[in-house]
Chains A and B, each alone.
Chain A
Amino acid sequence: DQQVKQNSPSLSVQEGRISILNCDYTNSMFDYFLWYKKYPAEGPTFLISISSIKDKNEDGRFTVFLNKSAKHLSLHIVPSQPGDSAVYFCAASAPTQGGSEKLVFGKGTKLTVNP
């Protein structure tokens, strides 16, 4: 059972336009959500996060929106740049015994920003 779903395996946008990456989750216990990006042959790098007590978090060109009732979050990149071309992973965490953060990842969306 996939608890975190990224239904679009790929997305292509023009430079300067908005990129919108979507993520759905099923576990209502998730209370923290993160987006990562991954370039080929490199480890994932943290991009932006949001707590379940918020519905929006912004960091420069990146904004994450959370809709708890729909169990949906999205990442907006405005304006998109060719260097943003990467695979973007959505991840969610729920409190666990011992207080650790066990992240559950989506399968990723490959974003291509065309010059």
Chain B
Amino acid sequence: NAGVTQTPKFRILKIGQSMTLQCTQDMNHNYMYWYRQDPGMGLKLIYYSVGAGITDKGEVPNGYNVSRSTTEDFPLRLELAAPSQTSVYFCASTGRNTIYFGEGSWLTVV
């Protein structure tokens, strides 16, 4: 059982470039999330989805976009990368009374 899989694990972007962080889960969960974690800080919610075709903003959505065309996949897109988006990104999905995280994607914008 793969759980939550996110790619890439590491990426360096130049300012203004765009990229997509991929996230997929094989547990048939309806709820999926993208979080970012900055040094010394807790996890902050960027976007979440309650099912295929439904997405909503979290605490820090600016500079990001998401889509949810299938139950399994929840990609996060950065259109114009900025240094403030240097962070560790975690995708997650919710099961019964718990949440499963991917291993994280380390993104550096230079």
Contact = CB atoms under 8 A, between A and B. Distances in A.
B and A form one assembly: yes
Contacts of A89: 42-43
B42 A100 contact: no
Give the bracket for the number of chain B residues in contact with chain A.
20 to 34
Interface stretch (B14-22, B61-69, B77-85, B94-102): B94-102
A106 B104 CA distance: 18
A97 B34 CA distance: 18
Q: Identify which of B41, B42, B44, B94 gathers the most chain A CB atoms within 10 Å of its CB.
A: B42
B107 interface: no
A66 interface: no
A79 interface: no
Contacts, number: 54
Chain B interface, >50% SS class = strand
Interface string A92-111: 00000011111101111000
A34 B96 CA distance: 13
Contact of B94 (A41, A44, A100, A106): A100
B94 A46 contact: no
B104 A103 contact: no
A4 interface: yes
A43 B97 contact: no
A36 to B, nearest CB: 8
Contacts of B53: none
Contacts of A103: 33, 43, 45, 99
B74 to A, nearest CB: 13
A9 B45 CA distance: 21
